[in-house]
Amino acid sequence: DASGAVPTVSRALQIAGGIRQSADISRIQLLRPTRAGGQQVFNVNLQQLLRAGDRSQDLILQQGDTVFVPTATSVNPAQALDLAAASFAPTTNQPINVAVVGEVTRPGPQIVQPDASGAVPTVSRALQIAGGIRQSADITRIQVLRSTRGGGQQTLNVDLSQLLDNGDRAQDLILQQGDTVFVPTANAVNAAQALDLAASSIAPATNQPLNVVVVGEVTRPGPYVVQPEGTGAVPTLARALQVAGGIRQTADITQIQIIRLVRGGRQQTLTVNYSQLLQTADRTQDIILQQGDTIFVPASVAPTAADSLALASSSVAPTGAQPLNIAVTGEVQRPGSYVLQPSQPPTVIVGALPSVAGLPTITQAIQIAGGITQSADIRRIEVRRVTQAGVEQRLSVNFWQLLVSGDRSQDLVLQQGDTIFVPTAANIDPAEAALLADASFSPASIPVNVVGEVTRPGIIQIRPNTPLNQAILAAGGFNARARKATVELLRLNPNGTVSRRTIEVDLDKGTSEQTNPTLRPNDVILVARSGFARTGDNLGLILNPVGQGFSFLDFFRNFMRLFGVTVP
C-alpha cells in the first residue's frame, strides 16, 4: 500500500470486490501453511470489528495466506446493513441483475442500476423498478431467494410492514447479483395495511388508468377505465362507484365485494362494509383498487328508510342530474305516471358535505300527483322498486313520523322506476286529519259541492280540513228560502259506502265533529228548503240502491236532479 499500511483481512476482502450479503462475517477463517507442511486456522469475527471496533479481528496477512468467507445459514438484516456500510462491502457503482416475481405490477427480470447518491440496492428499490407492489400482496412474507457459492440456496424472509409501520430499515434487505425477490399473495387483505402500502414508495404509480368492472346495484353497470386524478389520489372503491353513476337505493352496501385475480390465476374476494365508512369514517373500507378488479354491489334483502337516507347523502350516490320516471298510485289526487325533474343542477364542491338537496323524494312525487287525499293512510306508504336482477323491493314509509318528529329518513330519495303506493286508511282520526291538512304533501285545496238553498250553489275549492260552516259561507251563505237549522252532509267513505248525516248548524261555533265537522274531498252539503220532509222522502228512495251495485256517480246524478241540476 502506498500509505505503508499493513495488509489485513479487510484489505484483502476489498481487493476481492467486497463481501457478498450471503456471507457469515462472524466465522471467517484465515488458513495459513506452516513450515512443516501443516496448516494453521485462525477464526476471524469481523462483526466484532464493525460493532465494537475490535481491530484485533482484522488479522495481518502474510505470504500464502488463504481467507475463507463462509455462507451464512441465515441472514441477519441488521448485520446486512452494517456490512453494506463497511469498507469491505461491494462497490455500488455496478448494476445488478435480479428477478422480481409474484404480486408486483411488472414481474420478471430487472436490472437495478446504481443510484446516483451511491445508495445500496435494496428490496424496496427492486420493487419500485418492478412497478410497485399490488394490493393483493402479503408484504409480511416477502422472500429473497439467494444462490450461494456452493450451489445452495438461501431463503431470506422480509416483513416490509415493519419497515412501513415502525421504520425498521433492517427489513429492507440489501440485494446482491442474481437474487430473486418473491412477493406472495395475501390470504386476506388487511385494509389498514393496504392504506399504508398505497402511501409508500413501493406502491404502484397512480398516474396510470385502471381497467375495472362494476356490476350489480349501480346506475350504469359495466366495464370502466378509472382515470388518474390530478391530485395524485389513489384509485379507490368509491371512485369506481362514482364513475359507474353511483350506488342505487336498492343496494346492500354492507356486503360489497371486490373480486380480484391474483398471480397464478387464482381469485381473491374482498368483502367491504361501506356503511362503516359512512357511519364511522372508517377509511379502511374504501379499498384501493388494482388493475382488473371487479366490483359487485349486491341488492339489499331488507332495505330500511334510514339506510336509504344515509346512502343518498353520500358521495357514492347518484347525482340526481337526470329526470326520473316514477308512478304514484292510491290515495293521491292525480294517480299516474310522472317524470320528476331535478329541482336544481347538481353542484360538486370539493370538500363539501354530501346532501340530498335537489334529489327527488317521496314528498316531491306526491306533490306532483296533487297531494294525498284525506282518506290516505300515511303510516303505511310503500315504495316499490326493482333491483337490477328484476326482484321487487318494498320499503315501508311512515309519514306520520315525518310530520310529528321530523324524521327525514321517512322521506325516501327516489330512483328510476320507483312506484309509490299510498293506501286507504281504515279509520281517520279528526285530530290527525287537521295536522295532515297542513302538510306540504297535502293538496292546496279540495273540492266540495254545496247544493240547495245557498247564494252560489255548486262546486267550490276550499283548503283541506275546512269546517262545514266555512264552506257554507264560501258559497254565499243561506238564501231566504233555506232551512237554516240543519243541513245534510253526504260523504263517500274509504270502504265505498255513502254516509249521510244531519248536522245542526250554528255558524257562531268553532270546529266540532258534531255541529261543524271538517270536510273531505267531494263531500256534498245539502241545504234544504223549509218543509224539507217531502224532499227527504225522495232522497231516501235514491239512497236505497247504494250498496246494491248502484254506483255513487249514478246516485249523485239522480240526487242533483232533485234540485233541477243536470249532471252529464
- Find how far residue 381's CA is from the centre of its chain: 26
Domain boundary among 437, 469, 503: 437
Closest listed residue to residue 408, CA positions, set 395, 397, 418, 396: 397
Question: 533-543 and 552-561 helices cross at what angle (nearest 10)?
Answer: 160
Helices (H), 130-170: 160-166
What phi, psi does 524 have (nearest 5°)?
-120, 125
CA distance 212 to 264: 19
In a domain, 141, yes or no: yes
Residue recorded with cell 425477490: 181
Residues 222 and 183 in one domain: no
Q: What is the pLDDT of residue 526?
A: 92
284 and 226 inside one domain: yes
Distances (CA, A) of 231 to 204, 209, 237, 426: 15, 14, 17, 58
Question: Quick one: 451 and 554 in the same domain?
Answer: yes
* pLDDT tens figures, 278-308: 888 888 788 888 888 999 999 988 777 777 7
Which amino acid belongs to residue 37? Answer: G
Rounded CA-CA distance 73/375 in Å is 87
| Enclosing domain of residue 394 | 324-437
- Residue ending a domain, among 232, 266, 301, is 301
Q: Is residue 460 one of the residues assigned to a domain?
A: yes
- Identify whether residues 70 and 121 lie together within a single domain: no
**Per-residue model confidence (pLDDT) at position 340:** 86
Alpha-carbon torsion angle 540, 542, 543, 544, nearest 10: 90
Q: How far does the chain reach from its first CA to its final CA, in angstroms?
A: 126
Note whether 316 and 275 are within 8 A (CB). no
Query: What residues contact residue 429 under an 8 Å CB cut-off, 6+ apart?
Result: none
For residue 209, which amino acid is it? P
Three cell numbers at 322?
337526470
Same domain membership, residue 350 and residue 290: no
Question: Rg of the Cα trace of the chain?
Answer: 42
Report residue 329 as a C-alpha cell.
298510485
Q: How far apart are CA 397 and CA 412, in angstroms?
A: 8
125 and 64 co-located in one domain:
no
Q: Evaluate the CA torsion angle 398, 403, 405, 406 in order and state its sign.
A: positive
Residue 89 lies in a domain: no
How large is the greatest C-alpha to C-alpha distance in the chain, in angstroms? 155
Are 338 and 363 members of one domain? yes
For residue 57, which phi and psi values (nearest 5 degrees)?
A: -75, -20
Q: How far is CA 440 from CA 187, 355, 443, 464, in A?
A: 55, 20, 8, 12
Low-confidence ranges of the chain (pLDDT < 50): 344-355, 532-537, 541, 545-550, 562-567
In a domain? residue 306: no
Are 163 and 261 part of one and the same domain? no
The pLDDT assigned to 525 comes to 93
**Integer Cα distance of 490 and 469 in angstroms:** 15
62 assigned to some structural domain: yes
Contacts of 282 (CB under 8 A, 6+ apart): 276
- Report how far apart, in Å, the C-alpha atoms of 501 and of each of 307, 517, 524, 525 are: 47, 11, 11, 10
Q: How many CB atoms lie within 10 A of CB 194?
A: 24
Domain for residue 307, yes or no? no
- pLDDT of amino acid 122: 87
Closest CA to 371 of 341, 399, 333, 401: 333
User: Residue holding cell 450471503?
Assistant: 22
Q: Same domain, yes or no, for 189 and 234?
A: no
100 and 190, same domain (yes or no):
yes
Question: Which helix (H) or strand (E) covers residue 276, if one does?
Answer: helix 274-280
Which of the listed residues 417, 437, 457 is the one where a domain comes to its end?
Answer: 437
What is the count of structural domains for the chain? 5
205 in a structural domain:
no
Q: What is the pLDDT of residue 451?
A: 92
Distance between CA atoms of residues 463 and 346, nearest Å: 35
Computed from CA positions of residues 289, 295, 301, 307, in that sequence, does the dihedral angle turn out positive or negative? Answer: positive
Supply the CATH number for residue 46's domain. 3.10.560.10
The residues, ordered by sequence, that sit 6+ positions from 319 with a Cβ below 8 Å of its Cβ are 246, 346
Alpha-carbon span 472 to 451, nearest angstrom:
10
For residue 411, the one-letter residue type is D
| E strand or H helix at 560 | helix 552-561
Do residues 259 and 364 both lie within one domain? Answer: no
Query: Is residue 364 located within the same domain as residue 464?
Result: no
In this structure, is residue 164 part of a structural domain?
A: yes
Q: Which residues lie below 8 Å from residue 307, measured CB to CB, with a gap of 6+? A: 253, 275, 300
